[in-house]
A and B are shown apart, each in its own frame.
Chain A
Amino acid sequence: MTTTTTGALGGAATRAGDVIRLNKINKVFQTKRGPLPVLSDISFGIAPGEVICLVGESGCGKTTTGKIVVGLIDQTSGEIFYEGRDSRTLKGKDYDAFRRAVQIIHQDPYASLNPARSIFQTLSAPLLRYKLARGRNDLNAKVIELLERVDLTPASDFVDKYPHQLSGGQRQRLSIARALTVEPRFIVADESVSMLDVSIRMSLLGTLTRLKDELGVAFIFITHDLAIARHFAWEGRIAVMYLGRIIEIGPTPQVINDPQHPYTRALLGAIPEADPEVTRTKERMHLRSLDIPSLYNIPAGCAFHPRCPLWEQGLCDTLVPPLYEIKPGQQAACHVMAREVAGIQPIDLRDAPDAEAAK
């Protein structure tokens, strides 16, 4: 089990056949108050058709990760590999193919659709840009097909409508259809159902699940709602983020039912659930502090140590924990749990063998 620390670091990052692979992504925003490190050392890979949920509280870096993956923001350091090639070295046709392959569905369907464009215009623009439709008839047929795919039916009723004539759920479906126009292999869905009412949310999640199964599209699904994450990514993985780092990652059932990182435990214990019996009796983890530290002043060692009940002086406040493989396939950045559960001796992330070099 002692070698697993290397495996832990490399495990997520070096699987063969990944569509997208992030390797040690760092992002620092330059602000008036100085450098703001919003992402540190983010590494994971996504296989075709796989779902990975990024969860965490506001400001943890989940949206920034999503935007970096699709190229809306540049990383400060680290690489994104698309089919094994560094996305920043891609040129011309290859770059076009990469941009087509990765799409994003934004959080707010009221802000992400151009109000002056009809549905037809919204959906036909990318089809024309990438020459995916030949002639007027083909274009019409493609638009209708897209609308049907996202359950905006009867499609002919919707074609000439404008966003203001659609409800929130319908707008979000249109956003999905727009992302699908260019036949992506990989979609980042940023809080795509959070703004919707309960009764519509499930049907939209159903639509996304169907697309994943039918088209083999891989998803990064960003949400703050662990119940939704659990539901959508049951067969995939969950990555929990805290202050710009992934602090736990693993198969969804394992992370939800047997969380290893104390922060994940605290989150799961704190979530109000729609069942008075459960929610009023469930075990809570009491944190030592309620305040989330500022990104300008991230605590030394494990960033969670000032709030963590398992904290050990001299260990957690000095060594930055790497993602230890605590259970098969499940990694958590916690020195104490790694030692107690898996017998792994604490190391500092900066001393950990480089996954790339090891390969």
Chain B
Amino acid sequence: MQTRSQQQRRQDRDAQVAARGADGVVLSVRGLSVEYRARRGGVKAVRNVDFDLYKGESLALIGESGCGKTTLATALVRLLVRMATISEGEVLYHRDGKTVDVLALNEGGMRHFRWKECAMVFQGALNAFNPVLTIARQFQDTAQAHGLDDKAEIDRRSRDLLRKVQLDPDRVLPSYPFELSGGMRQRVLMALALLLEPQIIILDEPTTALDILTQRNIIDMLNGLRKELGFTLLFVSHDLAMAAELADRVATMYAGRIIELGDVYDIFNAPRHPYTYGLMKATPTLHDDASEMVSIEGSPPDLIDLPPGCKFHPRCAFMEEGKCTTEDPPLLEVGKRHTAACWFWPKVEATIEEEKAAKGVSRLNEAPAEQLQASAPQVEGRA
């Protein structure tokens, strides 16, 4: 079934993975759990999460509201709200052969880690600029707070970065935030995040609430910056399309856990967890057959009182009494660098293969003439 380009891509990816080797890891997270205190009890927002972030890669955390994706990202820079505590786990940061235990850092160490090593851009941060300071001042304040005092150097760096995000420094630096459009502010934020040359950038919903053409521009800009500067990107999104655009690897989260993790092409073409598969089926695109769209029955579980066994079993079409209702599956190897937390992932695989086979037939039958014009690139892409 694999096309030539797919094979080529896989080889490239293999080479890339081989090249980075074991010491290509910049951040390793082990057994991380975060709880919020609530009146009814502890809200288990993040449960026992393991993953590695590799140098230069882009990893997407996707999932629906309340799945713990933002909490997980925020925990990595220890900026959780006061009601939340990291109850268990380990976050190790690697740079130049040295390893730092992020959770053991004191205030000073943390201040150094944040922004200089790992910068985070929060959701809606484009509305969080100080309204009475010019953009230039915001750059200076940030730099000074992190120990960079040379004004000329700060100016040089900010101009350079603003040009990299396709903004005119002469226009933007003397402006106040309200004078810039949403897309421009999002780009200023990216420049600000890069100011101290961090190794890792964490973005929470980087394009949510932006218009389509602005969103496109931010996506292209991010891809360009990654190529040019080679930073490692971890981003959180509820939008599968963002992952399809920007990620090398995708992690799906459900009820506080990563339930599937793999190469972006594998996650989209061959998901193995019923939830990931359900998300794919529920997301309309511009070319899929509309009648195939199906939503996921039920709603996410109560994070205070989680169901026994697999947390997805009450909504799962592949569920089997016994195994699924009593034992929470660990991440199982389901393919090359592809893991999924489902006892019955071969059943998901079989279903998808059947669907693909059936679709292959129907595609030939359709062959709508008018589609061959403007949507030609899409049609070819699918063939």
**B211/A58 in contact, CB under 8 A:** yes
Question: In the bound complex, do residue B285 and residue A258 qualify as a contact, i.e. CB atoms below 8 Å apart?
Answer: no
Whether B378 lies near A282 (C-beta < 8 A) is yes
* Chain A residues near B368 (CB-CB < 8 A): 253, 257
Known contacts A199-B279, A279-B245: A272-B284 contact under CB 8 Å: no
- B37-75 vs A, Cβ < 8 Å mask (1 yes, 0 no): 000000000000000000000000000110000000000
Residue of A202, A273, A274, A280 with most chain B CB atoms under a 10 A cut-off: A274
Contact among A199, A253, A259, A273 with B295 in the assembled complex (CB-CB below 8 Å) = A199
Q: Which residue of B lies closest to A227 (CB)?
A: B284
For B238, list chain A residues within 8 Å (CB): 197-198
> How far apart are the CA atoms of A284 and B181 in the complex, in Å?
23
Residues of B within 8 A of A230 (CB): 284, 286, 290
Given contacts A202-B293, A234-B290, A290-B213, contact A274 B375 (CB under 8 A): no
Known A273-B286, A276-B265: A258·B373 in contact at CB below 8 Å: yes
Chain A CB within 8 A of B239 CB: yes
Q: A268 near B: Cβ within 8 Å? A: yes
Also in contact, A231 and B64, with CB within 8 A (given A167-B299, A257-B374, A272-B242): no
Residue contact A258 to B219, C-beta cutoff 8 Å? no
A157 at the binding interface (Cβ < 8 Å): no
User: Between A and B, how many residue pairs show CB distances below 8 Å?
Assistant: 141
Whole-angstrom distance from the CB of A137 to the nearest CB of chain B?
Answer: 32
Whether B214 is near chain A, meaning CB under 8 Å from some CB there, is: yes
Q: How far is A59 from B287 in the complex, measured between Cα atoms in Å?
A: 27
Q: CB-defined interface of A117-155 with B at 8 Å, one 1/0 digit per residue?
A: 000000000000000000000000000000000000000
- Please tell me the number of chain A residues within 8 Å of chain B, measured between CB atoms: 48
Q: Chain B residues with Cβ under 8 A from A283's Cβ?
A: 377
Determine if B295 and A226 form an interchain contact, defined as CB atoms under 8 angstroms apart.
no
How near does chain A come to B293, taking the closest CB pair, in angstroms? 5
A267 within 8 A of B: yes
B100 interface contact, C-beta 8 A: no
- Check A199/B293 contact, CB under 8 A, given A268-B286, A270-B215: no
Chain A, residues 259-271, CB within 8 Å of chain B (1/0): the string is 1000001111011
Contact A199 B282 (CB under 8 A): yes
Contact with A along B208-248 (1 / 0, CB 8 A): 00011111110100000000000000000011111111000
Minimum C-beta distance from B357 to chain A (A): 18
A254 at the interface (CB under 8 A from B): yes
CB of B168 to closest CB in A, whole Å: 12
Q: Which of B244, B377, B382 contacts A274 (CB 8 A)?
A: B244
Expressed in whole angstroms, the Cα–Cα distance for A257 and B238 within the complex equals: 27
- Chain A residues 288-323 with CB under 8 Å of chain B are 290-291
Kindly state whether residue A281 has any CB partner on chain B within 8 Å: yes
Quick check: is A203 within 8 A (CB to CB) of the other chain? yes
Interface status of A200 (Cβ within 8 A of chain B): yes
**Do the beta carbons of A275 and B244 come within 8 Å of each other?**
yes
- If A224-B211, A270-B213 touch, whether A231 touches B293 (CB-CB below 8 Å) is yes
Interface presence of A68 (CB below 8 A):
no
**Which of A226, A253, A270 is packed against the most chain B CB atoms within 10 Å?**
A270
Q: Mark A230-244, 1 if CB is under 8 A from B, else 0.
A: 110010000000000
Q: Which residues of A line the B interface, CB within 8 A?
A: 57-58, 167, 169, 197-203, 205-206, 224, 226-228, 230-231, 234, 253-254, 256-259, 265-268, 270-284, 287, 290-291
Q: Pick 30 A–B contacts, CB within 8 A, sort by A.
A: A197-B64, A200-B296, A202-B284, A203-B295, A253-B368, A256-B375, A257-B371, A257-B373, A257-B374, A257-B375, A258-B370, A258-B373, A267-B213, A270-B215, A272-B216, A272-B219, A272-B245, A273-B286, A274-B239, A274-B240, A274-B241, A275-B244, A275-B285, A276-B265, A278-B285, A278-B381, A278-B382, A281-B377, A283-B377, A290-B217
Known: A271-B212, A273-B285. 11 other contacts (CB 8 A): A197-B64, A199-B295, A201-B282, A205-B293, A227-B283, A253-B368, A256-B286, A258-B373, A274-B243, A274-B268, A276-B268
**The 8 nearest A-B residue pairs measured at CB:** A202-B295, A270-B216, A272-B241, A199-B296, A203-B295, A274-B240, A57-B211, A197-B64
